[in-house]
Amino acid sequence: MKRLLLSCLLLVMTASSFAQNVSINATGVIPDTSAMLDISSVNSGLLIPRMTSTQRDSIILPANALQLYNTTTKALNIYNHNRWEAIPSEFEASNLVHVASLADLPIPVGNAITLDSSKMYIFSGIVNISPNYLNLKGAGLRGISTSKDGVMSSVAGGILRSSSVNVFIADFAVIPLSASTKAYDFADNSGTHFCNIFSGSSVVEIGIPSLGVGQISGFKATTIEKNYWACADGVKVTGTVGKFCSSLNFITGIAAGAGIEFLTSAVISDIDLSNNYFIYTGQTGVKVDAGAIIDNGRMTTNMFRGVAANITGIDSYTWGWQMISNTGIPNSRAFCFQYMTNNPTATAIASSNTFYKIAGSTTTVNARKFSSESNKMTYTGKSGITGKVSIIIGAKAAANSSDYSIAIAKNGIVITAPVASMAPATNNQSFQISLITEVDLSTNDYIEVFVKSNNSNSTSLLIEEMQFRITD
Protein backbone atom coordinates (compact mmCIF):
# COMPACT_ATOMS: atom_id res chain seq x y z
CA MET A 1 0.00 0.00 0.00
CA LYS A 2 2.81 2.40 0.84
CA ARG A 3 4.55 1.47 -2.39
CA LEU A 4 1.35 2.33 -4.42
CA LEU A 5 0.90 5.71 -2.75
CA LEU A 6 4.55 6.53 -3.43
CA SER A 7 4.14 5.68 -7.11
CA CYS A 8 1.07 7.95 -7.44
CA LEU A 9 2.87 10.79 -5.69
CA LEU A 10 5.85 10.44 -8.03
CA LEU A 11 3.49 10.45 -11.05
CA VAL A 12 1.78 13.67 -9.95
CA MET A 13 5.10 15.30 -9.22
CA THR A 14 6.43 14.31 -12.64
CA ALA A 15 3.38 15.74 -14.43
CA SER A 16 3.55 18.97 -12.46
CA SER A 17 7.25 19.36 -12.97
CA PHE A 18 7.71 18.47 -16.62
CA ALA A 19 4.41 18.53 -18.54
CA GLN A 20 3.77 21.80 -20.45
CA ASN A 21 0.68 20.33 -22.23
CA VAL A 22 -1.73 17.64 -21.13
CA SER A 23 -3.72 15.26 -23.32
CA ILE A 24 -6.59 13.03 -22.33
CA ASN A 25 -7.35 10.25 -24.80
CA ALA A 26 -7.48 6.50 -25.17
CA THR A 27 -4.69 6.25 -27.75
CA GLY A 28 -1.72 7.88 -26.11
CA VAL A 29 -1.45 10.65 -28.72
CA ILE A 30 0.61 13.55 -27.45
CA PRO A 31 -1.19 16.90 -26.94
CA ASP A 32 -1.24 19.63 -29.57
CA THR A 33 1.49 22.11 -28.75
CA SER A 34 -0.98 25.01 -28.94
CA ALA A 35 -3.28 23.56 -26.27
CA MET A 36 -2.69 23.40 -22.54
CA LEU A 37 -5.34 20.66 -22.37
CA ASP A 38 -6.07 18.48 -25.41
CA ILE A 39 -9.06 16.13 -25.06
CA SER A 40 -9.93 13.80 -27.91
CA SER A 41 -12.57 11.11 -28.26
CA VAL A 42 -14.79 9.55 -30.91
CA ASN A 43 -17.56 8.46 -28.57
CA SER A 44 -17.66 10.89 -25.64
CA GLY A 45 -17.93 14.62 -25.04
CA LEU A 46 -16.84 17.16 -22.48
CA LEU A 47 -19.33 17.57 -19.65
CA ILE A 48 -19.05 20.86 -17.80
CA PRO A 49 -20.67 21.67 -14.43
CA ARG A 50 -24.48 21.83 -14.41
CA MET A 51 -26.48 23.86 -11.89
CA THR A 52 -29.53 26.02 -11.36
CA SER A 53 -29.51 29.79 -11.55
CA THR A 54 -29.62 29.93 -7.73
CA GLN A 55 -26.63 27.66 -7.41
CA ARG A 56 -24.75 29.62 -10.07
CA ASP A 57 -25.36 32.90 -8.27
CA SER A 58 -24.00 31.47 -5.04
CA ILE A 59 -20.52 31.03 -6.54
CA ILE A 60 -18.14 33.30 -4.67
CA LEU A 61 -15.97 35.63 -6.78
CA PRO A 62 -16.43 33.85 -10.12
CA ALA A 63 -13.54 34.37 -12.52
CA ASN A 64 -14.00 35.94 -15.92
CA ALA A 65 -14.61 33.21 -18.55
CA LEU A 66 -15.97 30.76 -15.97
CA GLN A 67 -18.46 28.52 -17.79
CA LEU A 68 -21.34 26.25 -16.78
CA TYR A 69 -24.63 24.87 -18.02
CA ASN A 70 -27.67 26.55 -16.47
CA THR A 71 -30.35 23.92 -15.89
CA THR A 72 -32.95 26.58 -15.10
CA THR A 73 -32.67 28.42 -18.44
CA LYS A 74 -31.23 25.45 -20.35
CA ALA A 75 -28.39 27.52 -21.74
CA LEU A 76 -24.64 27.74 -21.51
CA ASN A 77 -23.53 30.57 -19.22
CA ILE A 78 -20.24 32.45 -19.12
CA TYR A 79 -19.08 34.98 -16.53
CA ASN A 80 -18.02 38.19 -18.21
CA HIS A 81 -17.00 41.34 -16.32
CA ASN A 82 -19.19 41.18 -13.24
CA ARG A 83 -22.19 39.40 -14.76
CA TRP A 84 -23.37 36.07 -16.07
CA GLU A 85 -24.25 36.00 -19.79
CA ALA A 86 -26.11 33.33 -21.72
CA ILE A 87 -24.49 31.84 -24.81
CA PRO A 88 -27.47 31.52 -27.16
CA SER A 89 -28.10 28.36 -29.09
CA GLU A 90 -28.32 29.11 -32.81
CA PHE A 91 -31.14 26.64 -33.22
CA GLU A 92 -33.22 27.52 -30.18
CA ALA A 93 -32.68 31.24 -29.70
CA SER A 94 -32.85 32.25 -33.38
CA ASN A 95 -35.43 29.71 -34.57
CA LEU A 96 -33.13 28.62 -37.38
CA VAL A 97 -33.63 25.41 -39.31
CA HIS A 98 -30.60 24.13 -41.24
CA VAL A 99 -31.44 22.30 -44.46
CA ALA A 100 -29.00 20.09 -46.32
CA SER A 101 -31.47 17.65 -47.88
CA LEU A 102 -35.18 17.07 -48.48
CA ALA A 103 -35.31 15.10 -45.21
CA ASP A 104 -34.60 18.31 -43.25
CA LEU A 105 -37.86 19.88 -44.47
CA PRO A 106 -41.46 19.16 -43.43
CA ILE A 107 -43.05 16.14 -45.09
CA PRO A 108 -44.69 17.05 -48.44
CA VAL A 109 -48.49 16.90 -48.61
CA GLY A 110 -49.84 16.90 -52.14
CA ASN A 111 -46.49 18.22 -53.45
CA ALA A 112 -46.63 21.13 -50.95
CA ILE A 113 -43.86 21.44 -48.38
CA THR A 114 -45.41 23.87 -45.91
CA LEU A 115 -42.84 25.70 -43.83
CA ASP A 116 -43.14 26.95 -40.26
CA SER A 117 -43.90 30.67 -40.32
CA SER A 118 -41.83 31.23 -37.16
CA LYS A 119 -38.64 29.78 -38.65
CA MET A 120 -35.77 30.93 -40.83
CA TYR A 121 -34.61 28.09 -43.08
CA ILE A 122 -30.88 28.12 -43.80
CA PHE A 123 -29.92 26.05 -46.83
CA SER A 124 -26.54 24.48 -47.39
CA GLY A 125 -26.07 23.40 -51.01
CA ILE A 126 -28.73 23.06 -53.72
CA VAL A 127 -31.50 20.78 -52.43
CA ASN A 128 -33.63 18.94 -55.00
CA ILE A 129 -37.22 18.98 -53.76
CA SER A 130 -38.78 17.57 -56.97
CA PRO A 131 -41.65 17.12 -57.62
CA ASN A 132 -42.60 19.44 -54.76
CA TYR A 133 -42.74 23.16 -54.02
CA LEU A 134 -42.18 25.24 -50.89
CA ASN A 135 -45.19 26.98 -49.37
CA LEU A 136 -43.39 29.70 -47.45
CA LYS A 137 -46.26 30.70 -45.12
CA GLY A 138 -44.18 33.65 -43.92
CA ALA A 139 -41.02 31.67 -43.22
CA GLY A 140 -37.70 33.17 -44.33
CA LEU A 141 -35.25 31.51 -46.72
CA ARG A 142 -31.56 32.14 -47.04
CA GLY A 143 -28.35 30.48 -48.05
CA ILE A 144 -24.88 30.57 -46.60
CA SER A 145 -22.95 30.94 -49.85
CA THR A 146 -24.28 33.14 -52.67
CA SER A 147 -25.54 31.17 -55.70
CA LYS A 148 -24.51 27.86 -54.13
CA ASP A 149 -27.41 27.33 -51.74
CA GLY A 150 -31.09 26.95 -52.57
CA VAL A 151 -33.53 24.58 -54.23
CA MET A 152 -34.33 22.98 -57.56
CA SER A 153 -37.56 21.35 -58.66
CA SER A 154 -39.49 20.13 -61.69
CA VAL A 155 -42.90 20.99 -60.19
CA ALA A 156 -45.45 22.62 -62.49
CA GLY A 157 -45.85 26.24 -61.38
CA GLY A 158 -43.83 28.11 -58.80
CA ILE A 159 -41.10 26.42 -56.80
CA LEU A 160 -41.54 29.04 -54.08
CA ARG A 161 -45.11 30.09 -53.32
CA SER A 162 -46.85 32.31 -50.81
CA SER A 163 -50.22 33.96 -50.29
CA SER A 164 -50.93 37.09 -48.20
CA VAL A 165 -47.81 36.86 -46.02
CA ASN A 166 -44.46 38.62 -45.95
CA VAL A 167 -41.75 37.16 -48.18
CA PHE A 168 -38.05 37.25 -47.29
CA ILE A 169 -35.33 35.58 -49.38
CA ALA A 170 -31.59 36.26 -49.33
CA ASP A 171 -28.63 34.48 -50.94
CA PHE A 172 -31.05 31.80 -52.09
CA ALA A 173 -30.85 30.32 -55.60
CA VAL A 174 -33.77 28.69 -57.40
CA ILE A 175 -33.31 26.33 -60.36
CA PRO A 176 -36.44 25.47 -62.42
CA LEU A 177 -36.11 21.99 -63.93
CA SER A 178 -38.97 21.85 -66.46
CA ALA A 179 -40.67 23.92 -69.17
CA SER A 180 -43.69 24.37 -66.89
CA THR A 181 -41.70 25.49 -63.83
CA LYS A 182 -41.06 29.01 -62.59
CA ALA A 183 -39.13 30.23 -59.59
CA TYR A 184 -41.70 32.43 -57.79
CA ASP A 185 -45.43 32.64 -57.37
CA PHE A 186 -45.99 35.24 -54.66
CA ALA A 187 -49.31 37.02 -54.07
CA ASP A 188 -50.71 39.44 -51.52
CA ASN A 189 -54.33 40.41 -51.91
CA SER A 190 -54.37 42.55 -48.78
CA GLY A 191 -51.78 45.11 -49.88
CA THR A 192 -50.31 45.10 -46.37
CA HIS A 193 -47.32 42.78 -46.74
CA PHE A 194 -43.78 43.10 -48.05
CA CYS A 195 -41.86 41.01 -50.58
CA ASN A 196 -38.07 41.20 -50.22
CA ILE A 197 -35.80 39.25 -52.56
CA PHE A 198 -32.30 40.26 -51.58
CA SER A 199 -28.68 39.86 -52.58
CA GLY A 200 -27.66 36.67 -54.35
CA SER A 201 -31.14 35.24 -54.87
CA SER A 202 -30.47 33.88 -58.34
CA VAL A 203 -32.85 32.21 -60.77
CA VAL A 204 -30.80 30.03 -63.08
CA GLU A 205 -31.71 27.42 -65.68
CA ILE A 206 -29.34 24.50 -66.25
CA GLY A 207 -30.02 23.77 -69.91
CA ILE A 208 -33.79 23.36 -69.53
CA PRO A 209 -35.87 26.38 -70.67
CA SER A 210 -38.50 27.23 -68.07
CA LEU A 211 -41.14 29.85 -67.28
CA GLY A 212 -38.38 31.90 -65.69
CA VAL A 213 -38.50 34.11 -62.65
CA GLY A 214 -42.29 33.96 -62.24
CA GLN A 215 -44.99 36.27 -60.95
CA ILE A 216 -45.32 38.69 -58.05
CA SER A 217 -48.81 40.05 -57.38
CA GLY A 218 -49.89 42.73 -54.93
CA PHE A 219 -47.77 43.66 -51.86
CA LYS A 220 -47.42 47.00 -50.17
CA ALA A 221 -43.79 47.03 -51.29
CA THR A 222 -41.66 44.68 -53.35
CA THR A 223 -37.87 45.04 -53.35
CA ILE A 224 -35.68 42.96 -55.67
CA GLU A 225 -32.03 43.85 -55.21
CA LYS A 226 -28.60 42.56 -56.29
CA ASN A 227 -29.72 39.33 -57.92
CA TYR A 228 -28.74 37.33 -61.01
CA TRP A 229 -31.27 35.87 -63.43
CA ALA A 230 -30.23 33.57 -66.27
CA CYS A 231 -33.52 32.20 -67.54
CA ALA A 232 -35.94 32.33 -70.49
CA ASP A 233 -38.35 34.83 -68.98
CA GLY A 234 -38.13 37.54 -66.35
CA VAL A 235 -40.42 38.68 -63.56
CA LYS A 236 -44.07 39.54 -64.18
CA VAL A 237 -45.71 42.05 -61.85
CA THR A 238 -49.44 42.42 -61.40
CA GLY A 239 -52.15 43.20 -58.86
CA THR A 240 -52.54 46.30 -56.72
CA VAL A 241 -49.03 47.30 -55.68
CA GLY A 242 -47.79 50.09 -53.42
CA LYS A 243 -44.15 50.23 -54.51
CA PHE A 244 -42.09 48.03 -56.81
CA CYS A 245 -38.32 48.47 -56.70
CA SER A 246 -35.73 46.62 -58.79
CA SER A 247 -32.11 47.65 -58.30
CA LEU A 248 -28.66 46.33 -59.26
CA ASN A 249 -29.97 43.14 -60.83
CA PHE A 250 -28.13 41.33 -63.66
CA ILE A 251 -30.68 39.94 -66.11
CA THR A 252 -29.63 37.64 -68.93
CA GLY A 253 -30.85 34.69 -71.00
CA ILE A 254 -34.31 36.15 -71.68
CA ALA A 255 -35.63 34.38 -74.80
CA ALA A 256 -39.42 34.35 -74.53
CA GLY A 257 -40.52 37.47 -72.71
CA ALA A 258 -39.15 40.57 -70.98
CA GLY A 259 -36.70 41.15 -68.18
CA ILE A 260 -39.35 43.01 -66.17
CA GLU A 261 -42.98 43.08 -67.29
CA PHE A 262 -45.95 44.90 -65.76
CA LEU A 263 -49.11 43.05 -66.73
CA THR A 264 -52.41 44.49 -67.91
CA SER A 265 -54.10 44.09 -64.53
CA ALA A 266 -51.31 45.89 -62.61
CA VAL A 267 -52.28 48.98 -60.62
CA ILE A 268 -49.08 50.40 -59.14
CA SER A 269 -48.46 53.54 -57.13
CA ASP A 270 -44.67 53.78 -57.57
CA ILE A 271 -42.05 51.99 -59.67
CA ASP A 272 -38.31 52.52 -59.18
CA LEU A 273 -35.93 50.75 -61.58
CA SER A 274 -32.27 51.66 -61.15
CA ASN A 275 -28.87 50.28 -62.10
CA ASN A 276 -30.21 47.07 -63.61
CA TYR A 277 -28.26 45.39 -66.42
CA PHE A 278 -30.25 43.77 -69.23
CA ILE A 279 -28.02 41.72 -71.53
CA TYR A 280 -29.57 39.30 -74.03
CA THR A 281 -30.33 39.11 -77.73
CA GLY A 282 -33.81 40.10 -78.85
CA GLN A 283 -36.85 40.45 -76.59
CA THR A 284 -37.68 43.45 -74.42
CA GLY A 285 -36.00 44.99 -71.40
CA VAL A 286 -38.87 46.66 -69.52
CA LYS A 287 -42.42 46.13 -70.79
CA VAL A 288 -45.62 47.82 -69.65
CA ASP A 289 -48.68 46.05 -71.03
CA ALA A 290 -51.66 48.02 -72.31
CA GLY A 291 -54.10 48.60 -69.45
CA ALA A 292 -51.51 48.68 -66.67
CA ILE A 293 -52.04 51.73 -64.45
CA ILE A 294 -48.88 53.33 -63.02
CA ASP A 295 -49.06 56.53 -61.02
CA ASN A 296 -45.32 57.26 -60.80
CA GLY A 297 -42.42 55.56 -62.52
CA ARG A 298 -38.70 56.21 -62.45
CA MET A 299 -35.89 54.61 -64.45
CA THR A 300 -32.33 55.64 -63.60
CA THR A 301 -28.97 54.47 -65.02
CA ASN A 302 -30.21 51.13 -66.33
CA MET A 303 -28.02 49.49 -68.98
CA PHE A 304 -29.22 47.55 -72.02
CA ARG A 305 -27.04 45.51 -74.36
CA GLY A 306 -28.30 43.48 -77.33
CA VAL A 307 -31.93 43.88 -76.25
CA ALA A 308 -34.33 44.28 -79.18
CA ALA A 309 -36.42 46.94 -77.43
CA ASN A 310 -35.16 48.60 -74.27
CA ILE A 311 -38.68 49.64 -73.25
CA THR A 312 -42.12 49.03 -74.70
CA GLY A 313 -45.48 50.44 -73.65
CA ILE A 314 -43.82 53.57 -72.20
CA ASP A 315 -41.24 56.14 -73.24
CA SER A 316 -39.34 59.04 -71.72
CA TYR A 317 -42.39 61.29 -72.03
CA THR A 318 -45.10 58.98 -70.70
CA TRP A 319 -47.20 60.72 -68.07
CA GLY A 320 -45.87 60.06 -64.57
CA TRP A 321 -42.50 58.66 -65.74
CA GLN A 322 -39.01 60.09 -65.31
CA MET A 323 -36.08 58.49 -67.16
CA ILE A 324 -32.49 59.60 -66.66
CA SER A 325 -29.15 58.19 -67.92
CA ASN A 326 -30.51 54.91 -69.28
CA THR A 327 -28.72 53.29 -72.23
CA GLY A 328 -30.43 54.20 -75.51
CA ILE A 329 -33.34 56.01 -73.84
CA PRO A 330 -33.63 59.81 -74.07
CA ASN A 331 -33.71 61.62 -70.75
CA SER A 332 -37.18 62.75 -69.77
CA ARG A 333 -37.75 66.41 -70.56
CA ALA A 334 -40.70 68.71 -70.94
CA PHE A 335 -40.49 71.04 -73.94
CA CYS A 336 -42.56 72.62 -76.68
CA PHE A 337 -41.79 74.80 -79.70
CA GLN A 338 -44.21 76.59 -81.99
CA TYR A 339 -43.87 79.32 -84.53
CA MET A 340 -45.72 81.34 -87.15
CA THR A 341 -44.44 82.84 -90.38
CA ASN A 342 -46.29 85.24 -92.70
CA ASN A 343 -49.11 85.42 -90.23
CA PRO A 344 -52.06 87.24 -91.87
CA THR A 345 -54.06 87.82 -88.68
CA ALA A 346 -53.65 91.15 -86.92
CA THR A 347 -53.87 91.49 -83.16
CA ALA A 348 -56.56 93.96 -82.17
CA ILE A 349 -55.33 96.53 -79.66
CA ALA A 350 -58.40 98.28 -78.27
CA SER A 351 -56.53 100.57 -75.91
CA SER A 352 -52.98 101.40 -74.98
CA ASN A 353 -51.18 100.03 -71.91
CA THR A 354 -53.32 96.89 -71.95
CA PHE A 355 -51.99 93.46 -72.88
CA TYR A 356 -53.74 91.40 -75.57
CA LYS A 357 -53.07 87.85 -76.68
CA ILE A 358 -51.19 87.72 -79.99
CA ALA A 359 -53.53 86.48 -82.69
CA GLY A 360 -52.71 84.03 -85.45
CA SER A 361 -52.21 80.33 -86.14
CA THR A 362 -48.98 78.72 -84.99
CA THR A 363 -47.24 75.57 -86.18
CA THR A 364 -45.99 73.13 -83.53
CA VAL A 365 -42.59 71.62 -84.22
CA ASN A 366 -42.38 69.44 -81.14
CA ALA A 367 -44.26 68.97 -77.90
CA ARG A 368 -43.21 66.66 -75.07
CA LYS A 369 -45.27 66.72 -71.90
CA PHE A 370 -47.09 69.69 -73.41
CA SER A 371 -50.17 70.01 -75.55
CA SER A 372 -50.04 72.79 -78.11
CA GLU A 373 -52.61 75.10 -79.67
CA SER A 374 -52.18 78.42 -81.48
CA ASN A 375 -50.17 80.61 -79.12
CA LYS A 376 -50.93 78.34 -76.20
CA MET A 377 -48.84 75.63 -74.50
CA THR A 378 -50.40 73.48 -71.77
CA TYR A 379 -48.16 71.48 -69.46
CA THR A 380 -49.36 67.87 -69.21
CA GLY A 381 -46.58 66.40 -67.05
CA LYS A 382 -47.23 65.01 -63.59
CA SER A 383 -44.45 66.67 -61.57
CA GLY A 384 -44.09 70.43 -61.44
CA ILE A 385 -41.33 72.09 -63.45
CA THR A 386 -39.64 75.46 -63.84
CA GLY A 387 -39.76 76.18 -67.55
CA LYS A 388 -37.36 78.43 -69.42
CA VAL A 389 -39.41 80.50 -71.87
CA SER A 390 -38.01 82.11 -75.03
CA ILE A 391 -40.08 84.39 -77.30
CA ILE A 392 -39.15 86.35 -80.43
CA ILE A 393 -41.69 88.36 -82.42
CA GLY A 394 -41.23 90.22 -85.70
CA ALA A 395 -43.60 92.93 -86.94
CA LYS A 396 -43.89 96.39 -88.55
CA ALA A 397 -44.87 99.49 -86.62
CA ALA A 398 -48.48 100.45 -87.25
CA ALA A 399 -47.87 104.21 -86.80
CA ASN A 400 -45.19 106.75 -86.00
CA SER A 401 -43.74 106.58 -82.50
CA SER A 402 -45.02 103.06 -82.06
CA ASP A 403 -43.75 101.44 -78.88
CA TYR A 404 -44.69 97.87 -77.88
CA SER A 405 -43.98 95.36 -75.09
CA ILE A 406 -44.48 91.59 -74.88
CA ALA A 407 -45.08 89.38 -71.85
CA ILE A 408 -46.25 85.87 -71.08
CA ALA A 409 -49.53 85.04 -69.43
CA LYS A 410 -50.02 82.03 -67.18
CA ASN A 411 -53.52 80.58 -67.08
CA GLY A 412 -54.82 83.73 -68.81
CA ILE A 413 -53.23 86.18 -66.35
CA VAL A 414 -50.38 88.33 -67.65
CA ILE A 415 -47.13 88.12 -65.71
CA THR A 416 -46.17 91.77 -65.63
CA ALA A 417 -42.48 91.26 -64.89
CA PRO A 418 -40.31 90.73 -66.65
CA VAL A 419 -41.51 92.11 -69.97
CA ALA A 420 -39.55 93.01 -73.12
CA SER A 421 -39.98 96.32 -74.95
CA MET A 422 -38.70 98.12 -78.05
CA ALA A 423 -37.53 101.63 -78.84
CA PRO A 424 -40.11 103.88 -80.57
CA ALA A 425 -40.37 103.16 -84.31
CA THR A 426 -41.72 105.06 -87.29
CA ASN A 427 -44.73 103.92 -89.30
CA ASN A 428 -44.11 100.63 -91.15
CA GLN A 429 -40.65 100.24 -89.61
CA SER A 430 -39.71 96.60 -89.00
CA PHE A 431 -38.78 95.61 -85.48
CA GLN A 432 -38.16 92.56 -83.28
CA ILE A 433 -38.75 92.02 -79.58
CA SER A 434 -37.32 89.07 -77.65
CA LEU A 435 -38.09 87.88 -74.13
CA ILE A 436 -36.36 85.19 -72.06
CA THR A 437 -37.84 84.34 -68.69
CA GLU A 438 -38.84 81.44 -66.43
CA VAL A 439 -42.18 80.25 -65.16
CA ASP A 440 -43.26 77.56 -62.66
CA LEU A 441 -45.80 75.13 -64.06
CA SER A 442 -47.98 72.43 -62.56
CA THR A 443 -50.17 69.97 -64.41
CA ASN A 444 -52.59 71.72 -66.82
CA ASP A 445 -51.06 75.17 -66.37
CA TYR A 446 -50.79 76.97 -69.72
CA ILE A 447 -48.87 79.92 -71.08
CA GLU A 448 -49.50 82.37 -73.95
CA VAL A 449 -47.78 85.41 -75.48
CA PHE A 450 -49.38 88.83 -75.03
CA VAL A 451 -48.54 92.26 -76.53
CA LYS A 452 -49.42 95.86 -75.59
CA SER A 453 -48.94 99.35 -76.97
CA ASN A 454 -47.08 101.66 -74.62
CA ASN A 455 -48.42 104.94 -76.07
CA SER A 456 -51.72 106.26 -77.31
CA ASN A 457 -51.51 104.15 -80.47
CA SER A 458 -54.42 101.69 -80.45
CA THR A 459 -54.08 100.56 -84.05
CA SER A 460 -54.17 96.80 -84.67
CA LEU A 461 -50.72 95.21 -84.91
CA LEU A 462 -49.86 92.54 -87.48
CA ILE A 463 -47.23 90.26 -85.95
CA GLU A 464 -45.98 88.35 -88.96
CA GLU A 465 -43.45 86.11 -87.24
CA MET A 466 -43.19 84.56 -83.81
CA GLN A 467 -41.02 81.89 -82.21
CA PHE A 468 -42.33 80.60 -78.90
CA ARG A 469 -40.61 77.83 -76.94
CA ILE A 470 -40.39 76.41 -73.43
CA THR A 471 -38.13 73.74 -71.94
CA ASP A 472 -37.59 72.50 -68.41
- The CATH code of the domain that includes 440 is 2.60.120.40
pLDDT of residue 91: 45
Domain boundary among 280, 297, 324: 324
Pairing of strands 385-396, 463-471: antiparallel
pLDDT of residue 17: 35
Q: Which residues pair with 13 in a beta bridge?
A: none
Pair (251, 147) in one structural domain: yes
Q: Using the predicted structure, report yes or no on whether residue 430 has a pLDDT greater than 50.
A: yes
The reply to whether 190 falls in a domain is yes
pLDDT digits (tens, 9 = 90+) for 223-257: 999 999 999 999 999 999 999 999 999 999 999 99
Domain count, the chain: 3
Most confident of 10-14, 18-22, 150-154, 451-455: 150-154
Q: Which of 96, 91, 175 is nearest to 133 (CA)?
A: 175
The reply to whether 267 falls in a domain is yes
Q: Report the distance separating Cα 370 and Cα 378, nearest Å.
A: 5
The reply to whether 40 falls in a domain is no
The reply to whether 18 falls in a domain is no
pLDDT of residue 148: 86
Across residues 131-151, what is the average pLDDT? 92
pLDDT digits (tens, 9 = 90+) for 300-321: 999 999 999 999 999 999 999 9
Q: Using the predicted structure, report yes or no on whether residue 9 has a pLDDT greater than 60.
A: no
Q: Report the distance separating Cα 470 and Cα 449, nearest Å.
A: 12
The reply to whether 404 falls in a domain is yes
Q: Using the predicted structure, report yes or no on whether residue 12 has a pLDDT greater than 60.
A: no
Across residues 410-434, what is the average pLDDT? 93
Domain boundary among 301, 324, 347: 324
- CATH value at residue 109: 2.160.20
Sign of CA dihedral 252, 152, 155, 208: positive
Pair (146, 215) in one structural domain: yes
pLDDT digits (tens, 9 = 90+) for 390-401: 999 999 988 888
Q: Which domain holds residue 431?
A: 335-471
Pair (364, 452) in one structural domain: yes
pLDDT of residue 234: 97
The reply to whether 462 falls in a domain is yes
pLDDT of residue 83: 78
Pair (362, 276) in one structural domain: no
Bigger pLDDT: 11 vs 399:
399
pLDDT digits (tens, 9 = 90+) for 254-269: 999 999 999 999 999 9
Q: Using the predicted structure, report yes or no on whether residue 154 has a pLDDT greater than 70.
A: yes
Bigger pLDDT: 89 vs 441:
441
Pair (114, 259) in one structural domain: yes
Q: What are the residues whose beta carbons fall under 8 Å from the beta carbon of 353, sequence distance 6 or more?
A: 452, 453, 454
pLDDT of residue 164: 96
50-59, 263-272, 305-314, 354-363: lowest mean pLDDT where?
50-59
Confidence of residue 6 (pLDDT cuts 50, 70, 90): very low
Q: Using the predicted structure, report yes or no on whether residue 181 has a pLDDT greater than 50.
A: yes
Q: Using the predicted structure, report yes or no on whether residue 445 has a pLDDT greater than 90.
A: yes
Pair (177, 222) in one structural domain: yes
Q: Report the distance separating Cα 129 and Cα 233, nearest Å.
A: 22
Q: Report the distance separating Cα 34 and Cα 42, nearest Å.
A: 21
Confidence of residue 18 (pLDDT cuts 50, 70, 90): very low
The reply to whether 259 falls in a domain is yes
pLDDT of residue 185: 98
Confidence of residue 293 (pLDDT cuts 50, 70, 90): very high
Omega before 418 within 30 of 0, i.e. cis: yes
Q: Using the predicted structure, report yes or no on whether residue 37 has a pLDDT greater than 90.
A: no
Across residues 20-47, what is the average pLDDT? 82
pLDDT digits (tens, 9 = 90+) for 100-119: 899 999 999 999 999 999 99
- For the entire predicted model, the pTM comes to 0.75
Q: What angle do CA 262, 267, 272 make, to 5 degrees?
A: 60
Cα→Cα distances 294→160, 182, 261, 349, Å: 27, 26, 13, 47
The reply to whether 7 falls in a domain is no
pLDDT of residue 94: 62
36-45, 130-139, 378-387, 437-446: lowest mean pLDDT where?
36-45
Domain boundary among 288, 305, 324: 324
What share of the chain in percent tops pLDDT 90?
Answer: 74
Pair (409, 282) in one structural domain: no
pLDDT of residue 43: 84
Pair (147, 214) in one structural domain: yes
